[in-house]
Structures are given as C-alpha cells and as structure tokens.
Chains A and B, each alone.
Chain A
Amino acid sequence: MAKLHVSTTINGEPAEFLCDVSQTILDVLRDQLGLTGTKEGCGSGDCGACSITLDDRLICGCLMLAAEAEGRRIETIEGMAKGDRLHALQKKFIEFAALQCGICTPGFLVASRALLAHNPDPSETEIRYWLAGNLCRCTGYDKIVRAVMEVARDMRETTR
C-alpha cells in the first residue's frame, strides 16, 4: 500500500514524514525521526512511557496513528529544554532524585508539564491521579510527586 505523506509540527519545527496507515506516531518518532527520547513500555496505553502532547493535550504516542499528526502540533521530551536551559521540572527531577533508571522519566516530565499547564495549583492527590497513567517501577513515586509539588509552588511564586 502506498505510504501517506504527513506534514506536522514537532517541538516547534515543521516536520514531514511518510508512514503506513497502521503506523503509530510513537514508531515514526522513534524509528524514522530519530526521536528516541519517547519510550515504549507496553504499546497498549498502560504505562505512559510514550507520553507526548498533541495540540497541548496529553496522549499516549503508542495509541495514536501517525497519520493523525497532519496539521497538528506535537511536543516530545526533546522539546522540553530551551536551548541549554533545562525546564524547571527537569531540574527538579534531578535535584530530588525523582528518577532511578530513568526509562519512565520522559513520560513523567511530559505528563507533569501538561498537568501544570492545566492546573497550576494541584493538590498532592490531584498530582497522584493525574500521574496514575504513568508507571514507574523504581521510585515508588514519592520523589516524583514531591518534585512536581515543589515546581508547582515555585511557578506560582514567580508568577505572583
């Protein structure tokens, strides 16, 4: 079957690719565009390692067809740092040791950024429920939740 031609925007840059109808955006990002920061833990929407945003909405890259990216805006972990400056969440994750192996980290960061864009003042419970779609087997979530709480507090203070 002929490939589909897709024009989209990835991390603020225009991007084009050819894909099969059945290919997921996760496969295209990782295998064709070399953006391997987005991870595959399950391929079935259960682990959140493939978290990306589509027009600012948090989604699982493994559940979205690549063809659906046409004319949309995609953000991945590779677009999170600006120039040589890490995002506040990225810095805080390192400072708080919110990662051990780090395979879940891109997904948690993308999901946490989406949370703070949507709710700048989340309670601990709201953070825990928002991140319930992201699995981490190493940390027990404690330091991840603390890092997100702290960044939310810092961001509120600087915008006040």
Chain B
Amino acid sequence: MSKQTYKWIGTRPDRPDGADKVTGRARFGADFNMPGQLVGKVLRSPHAHARIRSIDTSAAEALPGVKAVVTSKDFPEQANLIVPTGEMQVNLRDVTRNVMAREKVLYESHAVAAVAATTDAIASAALALIKVEYDVLPHVIDVTEAMQEGAPILHDHLITDGVEPRPTKASNIAKRIDNAKGDIDAGFAEAEVVIERSYTTQPVHQGYIEPHATLASASEDGQIQLWSTTQGHFQVRGFCSRLLNIELSQIRVTPTEIGGGFGGKTVVYLEPLAVRLSQKSGKPVKMVMSRDEVFRASGPAPGATVRVKIGAKRDGRIVAADCTIAMQAGAFPGSPIGPACWTSFACYDIANVRVVGYDVVSNRPKVAAYRAPGAPISAWGVESTLDILAQELRMDPIDLRLKNAAKKGTKTSYGPTFDTIGFVETLEAAKSSAHYRSKVKPGMARGVAAGFWFNVGADSSAAAHVAEDGTVTIISGNPDIGGSRASLALMAAEELGIDYDKVRPVIADTSSIGFNFVTGGSRVTFATGLAVVNSVRDMVRELKGRAAKTWGVDVEGVIWENGQAKPAGSNVGVFEPLTLAQLAATAGKTGGPINGHAQLNVQGAGPGFGVHIVDLAVDQETAIVTIDRYTAVQDVGTAIHPSYVEGQLQGGAVQGIGWALNEEYIYNAKGKLENAGFLDYRIPVASDLPMIETILVEVPNPTHPYGVRGVGEVPIVPPLATMGNAIARATGVRMTDLPMSPPRLSAALDAAMPRAAAE
C-alpha cells in the first residue's frame, strides 16, 4: 500500500490542553470544590480476612461536626449478575462488597465504613470512634497456596466454573478456561527440541501519580452531580445507578482532568460512598484517597504463575506450544486471565496450541485492569522460553520469531483469523534498526522480546458543531489521559479540510453526549476517532446541502474539498466555492444550525505488535542492572500525532521495565502490605533510565479511514522478557521469578556461582 499523504495527520501541533496543563490551571480530581462541602473518609480493615461481628457508629455520629456515617447497610444487596465494564467483567454482588465490606473483610484496608464531617481532622477523629468487632479468620495471600486443598476459603458460595463435572465444594478457584488448536500431543511428538519452564510474577500497581478523588453533590430532589477522576464517567454513572438504585438520567458525572489511570481508574471505589454520604448529609462531599490507600485498596495488576512448554524443529519452526497460567484475582473473581491466555501465543503461527488458565481469589485487593491486562504476564513466560529455545538452537532471537510470525490469514488459538497485521514488518524493522545492528559493548548483553495486544473498539458517540464564524467544536465522551484530544482534533481537521487550530475538542459530561465506553483498551483514537470522523462527515453532508440550497442545485452536484463546498463538475453550473465560514455565516437563512452526530459500536480494531531491544549490564557485586540502550519498535497503524504515539511507547516500556526490575507487593505473615508508598514500592525514576528510542512501523488498519490502530497497551507487553533475556545473556543465569530486583538477582547469581566454579 502506498503511503497516504495528509495535511494534518502525522503532524505534531501543540495539544489543545497544553497551556492549561503547564500553568497549573488544568483541574484534576482533587482540584474541584463546592461551597459548604464536607470531607469524606473511609474506615478500613486492619485484618486480611475476618468476619464482621458488629459495627457501632453511634459515638462517631455523636461527634460534633460529623454529618453522616455509612456502612454496608446503606447500600442495597445486589444480585449475582455479571456486567461488562472496562476490559473486565464484573459482578455487582462483588462490586458492592468491594466498595463496602458486608459479612466479611477480605483484604487489609477493605472499606468497612465511611464518614462525612466538616473538617479533615473531625473526619479522622470520627473514624477512630467507630467500633468494629471482628472474628479474625485464617488468610491466604499466595496464588498457589490459595489453590491447595484446605486453604482458607474466601467465598462459601464460590464453585469453580468451567470444570466437568461441576464441583460441589467451594473453592478459591473461580474459574478454569482453556483454548486449543490442533493436536497438542501430536505436536510435541513431532518436536525435536522441547523447552519447559515455570515462571512467577508479582502484583504491581498501575502507579498513576494522581490518587483517586471525587466530589459528589446530591440534591433534595434526587439529582446527583458528581466530579470524578476516571477513565470512564459513563461507567461511574452506571455503577452509582446500580449500587444506589438511582435512575441513570438523574446522575450527571463530569470527568475531571485525569492524572493517569492505565486501567486502574475504570472501576469505582469512592464515588458510591461519596454519593451516599452526600444524600444522607444533604451537603456536597469530597473524598480523596491517600497514597497509602491507593496502594492497599485500589486495584493492582495480578501476580501469577505461568508454565510454558514449547516444542520446535531444529530449524526453529515451532510445532507445539502449551501454557498454563494461574492468576490472582484479588478478593473477588475476575482477573484478566482471559486476555492473558488469548495473547500468550498470539504473535506466532503455531499448528498445535493449548492454553489453560485459572482465576484464583486470595486475600488481596481486587485487581483492576493495567495496560494490556494479563498480556505482560503470559508474554514473560512465553518470550523467555522462546529465548531459551533460540539459545538452544543457536539462532538469532529475531530470526526465530520471524520464522514463526503470525501474518494475515493466521488463525489464532482463541478464534479470530488475523486481517492485515504488521508483526513481520515490526520484526524486520527491529532487525534492521541501528540499535540491533550495533555491536554489543563489552560488559553488556542484549535482549529481545515481542508482545501483542488485540486493541478494542466498542461504543462511542461524538458530535461536531460549527460556530457562526466557521470554527468547529468536536464533542466526545472519553477522558483524555495521554493527548487524545489532539489526535481527535487532527482527524477532524483532516476530514474537514480546515486548520487544526480552528477545531476545538471538548470532553462532555454524561448528560451532554451519548454513551461512551471507557478510555481503555487502546480504543479512543481508533473508535472515538471514528465517531468523530463520522460526526464530521455528517456535518459535511449538511454543509453540502446548504451549498446546494444556496446555488439551487441538487445536493449530489456538490463536493467538499479543502474546507469548501464546490460544484462537482461544470455540468452543475459555475459557482464560486463556499467556505465553511461562509456557509456558517448564512446558516440562519439556509436551515439553521449546522451540526453533525455519530454513534457507533466500532468493530475491527487492528491488533498491535511490538518488539523491544535492550542493552544492559549487571553489576556482579550488587546485582544492579544498568540499562545502556533501549529501543521500542511497534506497528502503530497510522501515527496521528507521532509525539504522543512515541510517548505511549516510551511510557509503556518504562512501566514494563519497572515491573521487570523492581515493582512488587510485599506482604507480611499477617497479610498486611509492607510497602504501601513510593519509597518502598519503587517505580522507575529518571536516573534509572536512558532515552527510550522508538521506531514507529506504520501498517494501516484496513478498517479505519485513517488506518488507526490502538497503540497504548502493546508497549508494556515485551519489556519483562526483554529485560530477563538480556540479564540471562549477561550473567548466564535465567531468571524465572519477577521482579529481578537486586536482592532476588544477587541470590540467583550467588546460587549459580558454586556450580559455575565447579564446572
């Protein structure tokens, strides 16, 4: 396909919200206030697992300045009902118990009550006056232990789904899933080399710098206004409606600017509590989590165990692949075990595949989505195993992947057959990159790994309005976390043929635009972008009609080009083109305001593939890993605003590096988190890193008018194994447990030492 030339797409203009964000004017979740607002705070469980015998709130209620106290009694019981949200399925029975514990507390810091008071100090004092009697129960933190016979059971009603015959006893295994292709036993029988390893990963937090925050105002007539830092204000509305039995149209949620989410802000924690407190007190209630609460009580990504077995011919052709993943869901079922399984071998065209997954509950906070949910975990196992295979076969790791790469027409193990995809192009770009062609410096080693993400379409609504002077507003309903307003405005400008700075994008609240699915799944530039393009096309249809009316010709005789209506040909007549501004100025006479609308359920999200390369050194004494050079290569479809596409690759890669090297949840014997702060839960800082080089491979998505593919999620998938593969080549020690932090890595190096000395 020859490359399209565009006027705006692919350029790098200033983002529409830039000035507000560099001056401190932009308002994030905790920056909203209302006159007379109260401070809301949550009382949290000191135990990892306990039955709640009683809660006595009378002393707290009697404290002057306390205006409302809520417990689970203030929230109606919910049916065992699965509804989709974010990239996960949730059960409302569980959601109401996660926002406020009912019969039991299931993890340390599980919410048990909340208060609203006139000051922060009074709210804190009130929490201390609430008496909760607990019967402490044995707890289980580890996923393997939680699966054992005799493990403490979290939910007496939980029967493992997906096994035949259906078990009769309650278990912590919520479900078993599998998918397969070909004949796995025949595949392994055919193999000349078989590599099998087991891996573990630890839970990691999304680590958005802005804590959860909300402001709720309930009026006496039942209307609710809510400000929330969220990836999906329509989901916030939906949850509050269900959990509190309020009609959807009575709730208006305004998304604030959002200080990072990465999947973690697709669920609700504070919002239903704030609404209920506001209803009871008759005052606006503001709630902001502390960082400690964010770590202990908001969703991390799961940890897991992953067993991978790959069989290949001596020439590198993979003939069989088997993978079993057991994943922590946290206190309630619903880990991203599905995507972890489906993505595991999605990069490769393998005849015989079997993947089995288990969703396992334990006494940890309920997991939430985190960038390509589940995929980095299976990729850690699969891509590490492939590296061992490449070493065994003495093959270049990129050549091994090229030999087995999925292409257009490859049928995946989980069902779909790929349309045009860019994995081969991405591998080739990595192979011919300056980084990969450079010599590895002495004392350094190089690692490579790949990654895949489906990308998502789903529901989007958009509107386009032209003002009297011909400038345009495009209205959509997805919170912008990483520059999506710029991308939407670029597509609108391209479509309309007007300048980018004549288009102003805004994000509307739930009452001002139709439904939009969350900002997540790498869907906004793709799906909401398509809704914006279609709303602009709808507006152009109207504009052509107005020109036709002005000229007294048929609308078929009018075309739209470079921001102007023109006669389609000389047979239509000779007319001076009418610009958008001219048509807008006369709109009153030709039929009134000129707007466009679109609402879509978008299908055909093009999957994305990434390949990362690292050069690093491992200090033999301290086991500190120093990254010398890092390159992220990815098929991005079309880069609408390349700077923000590069930014996605860089940010995702660095989150993956943190996951690989440092980040983990550390629990003590009592089931309490020991590192709930940025000092002890160490995310990468500037001095840990070099520049992150990016190579944008553009293989347009055939289902999108501008070829857009989602780009945000793929880049967190390859880094874990990229780092592990380089560390294995640097030290001769293959790490199978994450994170490869100095204590863990130095223990592994020490353990390998006597053997190395003896050999």
Binding site for B on A (CB under 8 A): 30, 35-44, 46-47, 49, 76-78, 80-81, 86, 90, 93-97, 99-106, 109, 125, 127-129, 131-146
Contact = CB atoms under 8 A, between A and B. Distances in A.
Given A39-B210, A97-B646, A140-B651, 11 more contacts: A36-B30, A36-B31, A41-B210, A44-B678, A46-B678, A100-B482, A101-B208, A103-B257, A106-B22, A128-B689, A141-B686
B79 to A, nearest CB: 36
Chain B CB within 10 A, most for which of A49, A81, A86, A141 = A141
B683 A137 contact: yes
A8 B69 CA distance: 39
Given A41-B210, A94-B18, A134-B686, A103 B23 contact: no
B21 A49 contact: no
A40 to B, nearest CB: 7
Closest 6 CB pairs of A and B: A37-B24, A103-B259, A140-B654, A102-B21, A140-B650, A97-B643
B260 A101 contact: yes
A12 to B, nearest CB: 15
A127 B689 CA distance: 12
Interface string B169-208: 0000000000000000000000000000000000000111
Contacts of A81: 23
B63 interface: no
Nearest to B641: A97
Nearest to B208: A137
B686 A131 contact: yes
Contact of B651 (A30, A131, A138): A138
Interface stretch (B9-17, B216-224, B376-384): B9-17
30 contacts: A30-B30, A30-B31, A36-B31, A39-B28, A41-B291, A44-B677, A44-B678, A44-B679, A46-B678, A94-B15, A94-B18, A95-B14, A97-B641, A97-B646, A100-B481, A100-B644, A100-B651, A101-B258, A101-B260, A102-B21, A103-B210, A103-B260, A131-B686, A131-B687, A132-B685, A136-B209, A136-B686, A141-B684, A142-B689, A143-B650
Nearest to B480: A101
Contacts of B683: 135, 137
A39 to B, nearest CB: 7
A75 to B, nearest CB: 12
Nearest to A126: B687
A42 B677 contact: yes
A46 B641 CA distance: 32
A94 B209 CA distance: 19
Interface of B: 12, 14-15, 17-19, 21-28, 30-31, 206-211, 257-262, 290-291, 481-483, 641, 643-644, 646-647, 650-655, 677-679, 683-689, 691-692
Contacts of A99: 18, 21-22
A41 B647 contact: no
Chain A CB within 10 A, most for which of B17, B259, B290, B653 = B259
Contacts of A135: 209, 678, 683, 685
Chain A CB within 10 A, most for which of B207, B650, B686 = B686
A43 B210 CA distance: 11
A150 to B, nearest CB: 13
B678 A106 contact: no
Contact of B647 (A94, A106, A109, A143): A143
A128 B19 CA distance: 24
A7 to B, nearest CB: 23
Contacts of B678: 41-42, 44, 46-47, 135
Nearest to B28: A103
A140 to B, nearest CB: 4
Nearest to B15: A94
Chain A interface mostly helix, strand, loop or mixed? loop
Nearest to A141: B686
A63 to B, nearest CB: 13
B82 to A, nearest CB: 31
A101 B259 contact: yes
B647 A97 contact: yes
B23 A132 contact: no
Contacts of B210: 39, 41, 101, 103
A141 B643 contact: no
B651 A42 contact: no
A36 B647 contact: no
B493 to A, nearest CB: 18
Given A38-B24, A142-B650, A43 B686 contact: no
Given A86-B19, A102-B21, A140 B653 contact: yes
Contacts of A125: 687
A109 B22 contact: yes
A101 B485 CA distance: 12
A127 B686 contact: yes
Contacts of B208: 101, 103, 137
B686 A137 contact: no
Nearest to B205: A137
B686 A144 contact: yes
A12 B652 CA distance: 39
Contact of A103 (B209, B687, B691): B209
Nearest to B642: A97
Contacts of B25: 37
A94 B14 contact: yes
B209 A137 contact: yes
A101 B259 CA distance: 5
Chain B CB within 10 A, most for which of A99, A106, A125, A138 = A138
Nearest to A148: B686
Given A103-B210, A103-B260, A134-B686, A94 B19 contact: yes
Given A101-B258, A137-B262, A142 B21 contact: no
